[in-house]
Amino acid sequence: MSPRRRCCALRWVLAGILLTPAAWAQTTADPAALPDTAPPSPPVRQSLDDAWWTGPMLANSAATLPRGHFLIEPYLYDVSSPHSDGFGSLTYMLYGLTDRLTVGLIPVLGYNRMDGAGDSSGIGLGDVSVQAQYRLTEFHEGSPLPTISLQLQQTLPSGKYDRLDDRPGDGLGSGASTTTLQLNTQTYFWLANGRILRMRLNVAQSVSGKAHVEDASVYGTANGFRGSARPGNSFFVNAAWEYSLSRRWVLALDVTYRRNHGTRVNGVTLPGYGEARIRRSSGASEAFGFAPAVEYSWGANLGVLLGTRVITGRHTTTTITPAIAINYVH
């Protein structure tokens, strides 16, 4: 065979080898010859038992306590505004009467520091609330239905609110009974990284009665006043999210909106105090708030929360309220 023919034959042989499917199959079958193209493993889905919560700073839980179990959660806080500080303690004391029905008591203690004179004469009792919550539905993993509860709360006029003389800081109550009906919801989402995001959405409507008022009061009346005051009805919405960083650590955020109808004051000033007829309304107000917080749990039944609430709005005093709470369930 001539050199020219041998060269052409070699080209055809090489072409046949390169184009033979078997040659490609042999090449691709060699793991060392290919990059790793296997899809990444999906993140491990966090179990509900692996997430420990204390609850966010503001939003009430839609869950109810099992029968015979109780929850105690004391808060310590400082409602700080440009000219005063309201130091207080609020404690949730809840008991599972049945698996679906939880009842509770919420006592409040406080001390007000005012610019200039007029601080509280001592630690005093604020308005105490009693409440009952009935669970309608319960969340189950894989179901879109959240936990839903109805909550009825009655705030009793136990705190001092009038006859304050030169101690406006002693005003820790409203003097009026307030009834609040609230719808609470709670559900869980699993994020792309497998961690749990718990969400609450609560909606409430409050209606207040009338308070008999004498002399200096939390309603801005002065000594010699005789009459009444009625706090306006209030509509409130609270959304909250909790992100489970780990079993023990949680990041939380509340966002709130409140609309208050104007408080009405009606009465007279006695002779000797500048006799006059007084009739006024504070006008409606709107308040927007948010409260970031960090939760840490030592166990499934004991944890601590540290957060700050900020409130501002139309006809609303801007306040910043740092708070700490201990959550214990048994």
246 has pLDDT over 60: yes
pTM comes to: 0.84
Segment 314-320 mean pLDDT:
94
Strands 249-260, 196-208: parallel, antiparallel or unpaired by DSSP?
unpaired
140 has pLDDT over 90: yes
Alpha-carbon gap, residue 280 to 303, rounded angstroms: 46
Segment 284-294 mean pLDDT:
97
SS3 content of the chain, % helix, strand, coil (to 5): 10, 55, 35
136 has pLDDT over 50: yes
pLDDT in tens, 25-68: 343 444 444 555 667 777 889 999 999 999 999 999 999 999 99
Encode burial over 13-40: b for 16+ CB neighbours within 10 A, e otherwise: eeeeeeeeeeeeeeeeeeeeeeeeeeee
Distance set, CA 279 to CA 165, 176, 225, 272 (Å): 21, 18, 12, 19
In the structure encoding, which two tokens stand for residue 65, read together? Answer: 């306590």
Alpha-carbon gap, residue 206 to 11, rounded angstroms: 92
13 has pLDDT over 70: no
**CA of residue 288 relative to chain centroid, distance:** 13
pLDDT for the residue 38 = 64
Lowest mean pLDDT among 183-187, 272-276, 297-301: 272-276
7 has pLDDT over 50: no
**Secondary element (H or E) of residue 307:** strand 302-314
Alpha-carbon gap, residue 205 to 210, rounded angstroms: 17
8 A C-beta contact, residue 258 and residue 236: yes
Per the DSSP assignment, residues forming a β-bridge with 297 are 303
- Grouping H, G, I as helix, E, B as strand and the rest as coil, residue 25 is helix
**Secondary element (H or E) of residue 23:** helix 21-28
pLDDT in tens, 220-236: 999 999 999 999 999 99
Distance set, CA 56 to CA 22, 215, 219, 222 (Å): 64, 40, 31, 40
Contacts of 212 (CB under 8 A, 6+ apart): 175, 228
pLDDT in tens, 264-286: 999 999 988 887 899 999 889 99
> Which pLDDT band, with edges at 50, 70 and 90, does 12 fall under?
very low
